[in-house]
Amino acid sequence: MMRLCHNCRNAVPEHAAFCPECGAPQLRVPGPESREAETETPGGDAPARLTGDIAWPAAVQSAAIYAVPAGLLLSFVAIPLVDMAWVVLGAMWTLRRYRRRVPKAPALTPQLGGRIGLVLGLFAALITMAIQALGLLSARFVLHQGPSLDAQVRTEMQSRLDQMVAMYPDTFAQLPEMRHFWLSAEGQGAVLLVGAATSLASILFFAWLGGRLWVRFGSGRKVAG
């Protein structure tokens, strides 16, 4: 059964908490059983009513907008502190835009802010990885720089391996196959996968942190539009 949104007058599904078009929270008139339950447990549902849920259409749209510049900067600027700050700010801007798009939504908690921040982080990470993958494919198959890329990776791996051997000489002396593995194509692929996973985890963490910080200090209250 469909009903009309009190804000934009578009059709809203029966059990939807928010309007899919404008994101406005939908009022529900409790029946007699609901009133009895509230009478038996006064204030028990107050936190849920005050915080509510996330209007995901508005949250996803807000995150997608700021994920593009965040992903571009992460792809071309290899300065860890700048990248970290950019992701945190991107999450905060996402939360601010979300609040402007859904001014009538209930107040956010740090947990909900972190979830919206994670959406921004996921989009930004996907854009970053896509750009970097396209760059590698272009360099290898269009510009025919495959041998030089392989030599560069091998040189870097050899340098890091020499440092590890200097730190743990006994371990590498007992396990000579370990050295051969890290210099092989499989070892280089494993290092690239670990690096990509670490980068993804870092982006998601700082995006989550930015969402929580905006709610706590920014704040999660309604922003005047």
Domain boundaries, the chain: 1-44, 52-219
Residue 84 in this model has a pLDDT that exceeds 70: yes
**Lowest mean pLDDT: which of 13-27, 34-48, 95-109, 126-140?**
34-48
Q: What percent of the chain is modeled with pLDDT above 90?
A: 37
User: Could you give the CA distance from residue 100 to residue 65 in angstroms, rounded to a whole number?
Assistant: 14
Residues shown for the chain: 225
Q: What is the pLDDT of residue 43?
A: 41
Per-residue pLDDT band for 89 (boundaries 50, 70, 90) equals: very high
Between 60 and 48, the more confident residue is 60
User: Could you give the CA distance from residue 119 to residue 64 in angstroms, rounded to a whole number?
Assistant: 8
Between 183 and 217, the more confident residue is 217
Q: What is the pLDDT of residue 222?
A: 46
**pLDDT tens digit sequence for 96-138:** 999 999 888 788 899 999 999 999 999 999 999 999 999 988 9
Q: Which amino acid is at 19?
A: C
